[in-house]
Structure 1
Amino acid sequence: MNKVITIGRQFGSGGRIVGKKLAEAFDIPFYDNEIINLAAKESGFAVKAFERAEEKATNSFLYSIAMGAGAYSSHDFGYASLSIDDRIFLAQSSVIRKVADEGPCIIVGRCADYVLKEREDVVNIFICADLDSRIKRSVEEYGIASEKAAETILRQDKRRANYYNFHANEKWGNVNNYDLSIRTDFGGIDHAVKCIKAFLEV
């Protein structure tokens, strides 16, 4: 398998687990929070700064204000005029491109499909599931209180959507942005891994 795989996922769908198992199956590097750690090391920004930038995306209007100059300023005014959050996104994007240049790997989230959209060796996958199964996973595996699970899931999905929609100028979860979308509530995590593996080996 000589592809770079990006994985977008709904909260509680098990997308990270699917990515991890795929990486083990193909014996290739897996990147999730590792992207933040690498970007922090290269840029000099604290890891917390990257986490805060993602948290701001909960409200798209407030996020646009917090982003300051916005995504387009890099074209108009140069790096020095960018907001801190824009610089953080650029630092993260730089790391994503570097790990992709190093060879086949799996990258979870962080607009990786958009960042790598010019490459021909990238396969973009989206993992989703119905709300009931995501609530179940959130309670059993993430330790979220059952009475708060649905609210947490919707809030996290909104954060991911706003972050993606702002930076990528695309709609998060839109099937046209992905090569394959798969639901983990149908056959479970291992079945999803097998389906994706078969798709990639064609």
Structure 2
Amino acid sequence: MNKKVVITIARQFGSGGREIGEMLAEKLKIPFYDKALIHFAAEASGIDEDLFAFADEKAVQSFWSATSGATGVYGSRLPVFNEIPMNDKLFLIQSNTIKKLASESSCVIVGRCADYILRSEPYALSVFIHSEDEDKINRIIRSYGVPEKEAQETMIKTDKKRASYYNYYSGEKWGRADNYDLAVNTSAVGIEGAVSLIIKFAELKFAESPQSTDTIYP
């Protein structure tokens, strides 16, 4: 099955989501987008890249929460672009960047509400990566150089920010199973196991028939 597929990865901090995304992209020989999205969005809009970096996966209380009847950034009662706060403008610009990149080719996109932004696209596969706290804390210490005494607090705060950002802009609940095609526990299957599982799931989801033996590899 040589079809276009865009894999979006939401992840708990320390669960290995970014590493999984990179491995998936390498195995499938497709582009990988994480913080590079900030650069592309800044380049397309002419807005300073530092502004995008500052607002990256952070929610603010603003027009969206105050607008009656709105459900997330795509609520039914939208303001004029020039009237909305800067963080919301940046989200809309980044959303357009995600849509553009996804429309151009297969790719892997980490975070930034990509699963919600591409929720109606037939080629999109959404994944949520999670794991046990002990494993996340060990990975945060080992991979991010966070001191052991600060690792748990960093994990909690980072996940809280990600959840707030996702819930705020999507109107959905971050980490809730029915918001994703697949949830993977890396404590159970490991990083490489998660990559294999996602590829197999993608082959099944995008198979032309239940008996298909095609793969999503180029």
TM-score (norm 2): 0.85
* SS of equivalent to 2:56: helix
- Take 1:171 and 1:88, find their aligned partners in 2: how far apart are those partners? 21
Who is 2:28 aligned against? 26
What whole-Å deviation, never above 9, does each CA across 1:100-120 have from its counterpart, x for those lacking one?
010211100000011111211
Who is 2:139 aligned against? 137
Who is 1:60 aligned against? none
> Structure 2: which amino acid aligns with 1:28?
I
Who is 2:45 aligned against? 43
Alignment check: 8 A CA contact 1:133 1:185 kept: yes
Alignment check: 8 A CA contact 2:12 2:129 kept: yes
Alignment check: 8 A CA contact 1:68 1:83 kept: no
- Take 2:189 and 2:118, find their aligned partners in 1: how far apart are those partners? 30
Which of 22-31 and 44-53 deviates more?
44-53
> Structure 2: which amino acid aligns with 1:40?
A
What whole-Å deviation, never above 9, does each CA across 1:68-120 have from its counterpart, x for those lacking one?
87746894431111111111001100100000010211100000011111211
> Structure 1: which amino acid aligns with 2:130?
C
* SS of equivalent to 2:47: coil
What whole-Å deviation, never above 9, does each CA across 1:4-51 have from its counterpart, x for those lacking one?
110000000000000110011110111000111100111122222112
> Structure 2: which amino acid aligns with 1:45?
I
Q: CA RMSD in A?
A: 1.9
- Take 2:75 and 2:182, find their aligned partners in 1: how far apart are those partners? 32
Residue number among 8, 11, 18 corresponding to 2:10 in the alignment: 8
Who is 2:213 aligned against? none
Residue number among 104, 109, 112 corresponding to 1:110 in the alignment: 112
Alignment check: 8 A CA contact 2:34 2:111 kept: yes
Alignment check: 8 A CA contact 1:126 1:180 kept: yes
Shift in alpha-carbon separation, 1:95–1:74, aligned structure 2, 3 A = farther
Aligned residues: 197
Residue number among 112, 115, 122 corresponding to 2:124 in the alignment: 122
- Take 2:119 and 2:14, find their aligned partners in 1: how far apart are those partners? 26
Who is 2:197 aligned against? 195
- Take 1:121 and 1:163, find their aligned partners in 2: how far apart are those partners? 24
- Take 1:140 and 1:10, find their aligned partners in 2: how far apart are those partners? 16
> Which runs of 5 or more structure 1 residues have no equivalent in the other structure?
58-62
Who is 1:172 aligned against? 174
Alignment check: 8 A CA contact 2:58 2:164 kept: no
1:64 aligns with 2:61: yes
- The percent identity for this pair of structures is 43
Alignment check: 8 A CA contact 1:30 1:106 kept: yes
Greater radius of gyration (CA): 2
Which of 74-83 and 8-17 deviates more?
74-83
Structure with the higher helix share, 1 or 2: 1
Alignment check: 8 A CA contact 2:63 2:84 kept: no
- Take 2:41 and 2:49, find their aligned partners in 1: how far apart are those partners? 8
- Take 1:113 and 1:88, find their aligned partners in 2: how far apart are those partners? 17
Who is 2:79 aligned against? 77
* CA displacement at 1:52 relative to structure 2: 1.9
